[in-house]
Amino acid sequence: MTDILDLAFSSFVLIIPAYIANSVPVLARGRHPIDLGRSMGDGRRVLGDGKTFEGLFAGLFFGTLAGAVFGYPLHSFLLALGALLGDMLGAFIKRRIGIERGRPAPVLDQLDFVAGALIFLYPIYQPNWEQVVFIVLVTPPIHILTNYVAYKMGLKKYPW
């Protein structure tokens, strides 16, 4: 039992900067879209109004701060940046395949930011496979629950 608790604790300490970075932009309520309102050749927005400079900077700041508390500022910066860019890549993919902002894309919505975070962290730290599996398994239900709570609090338009 201690091994599972140690794994859970080490995994959450590792990924918390990404979770924070992915959550904070909703609170930032940004007004300046990263894609500057531009569309691609397919007529769809590059990212959409949900990806803003305010959200990017707030997520990067608070995600980095969250990890720095544990004494790993570079790790947390890379996790936060990777999470935000992974989420933007997810938004880009959703736009390209015709999924509008706010509409669900199961698995992509829950794991794009985690994949980005772990990829950005990899050059300086490689989590063990147990941590990666744990994070991949617990993130979707956590993501779904926190989105539902944000919806009930009036922070999100949709509960997903």
User: Per-residue pLDDT for 160 more than 90?
Assistant: no
- Assign 1 a pLDDT band (cuts: 50, 70, 90): confident
| Mean of pLDDT values over 87-97 | 97
1-5, 21-25, 86-90: range with lowest mean pLDDT:
1-5
From the list 6, 17, 7, the residue with the least C-alpha distance to 116 is: 17
Name the pTM for this structure.
0.95
Tell me, what's the pLDDT at 32?
98
| Mean of pLDDT values over 92-121 | 95
Tell me, what's the pLDDT at 2?
86
User: Per-residue pLDDT for 57 more than 90?
Assistant: yes
| Mean of pLDDT values over 85-110 | 94
**4 Cβ neighbours under 8 A, 6+ residues apart:** none
Tell me, what's the pLDDT at 78?
98
- C-beta separation of 99 from 105 below 8 A: yes
From the list 152, 116, 157, the residue with the least C-alpha distance to 135 is: 116
